[in-house]
Amino acid sequence: MKFRMTAIVLAALGTVPIALAKDPVSVEVALDAATLSTLPRHAIEATAHDQALRCEGVELAALLRKAGAMPADPLRGKQLASFVRVEARDGYRAVFSLAELDATLGNAKVFLVDRCAGKPLDDKSGPLRLIAPGESRPARWVRQVQSIRVEDAP
């Protein structure tokens, strides 16, 4: 506990990256092109509202690990109560539990895409869009992603 609090305080002061915190209280995930370009790209095929989509992007879990918001090791303890909040420019929001995304638990494949049909996303959908191809309906597919934050449940 002492290490966690020290890391969080130092991170707030700008002297240590928040990635050192073992159980993040709240981590804002960087969505800039430089960060996204360092992650493996995936081709995603999905259907939303009877429309077939062929998109490209990064796996959300990989992005969260890069940000220090999700450990590489299997989740345990308090980490099982963490959630990912994705927010769009228009205020639309969706939530995923961190456990859903953990490969040893839910193993849900969720992607942050920036290209569909071989082109960058237009203003209506992008510049970033969250896609969860395994879900029965696209209710948590967030267009115009503005922010992604990992938080501990209250």
Please check whether residue 16 lies inside any domain of the structure.
no
Residue 4 has pLDDT above 60, yes or no: no
- Asked if pLDDT for residue 81 goes beyond 60, the answer is yes
For residue 57, give its domain range.
26-152
Q: How many domains are there within the chain?
A: 1
- 61 burial level (CB within 10 Å; 0-12, 13-18, 19+): buried
Most confident of 11-15, 45-49, 96-100: 96-100
Does 58 map to a domain? yes
* CATH number of the domain bearing residue 108: 3.90.420.10
Query: Looking at residue 25, what is its pLDDT?
Result: 74
Q: Which of 10-14, 37-41, 146-150 has the lowest mean pLDDT?
A: 10-14
Does residue 2 have a pLDDT over 50? no
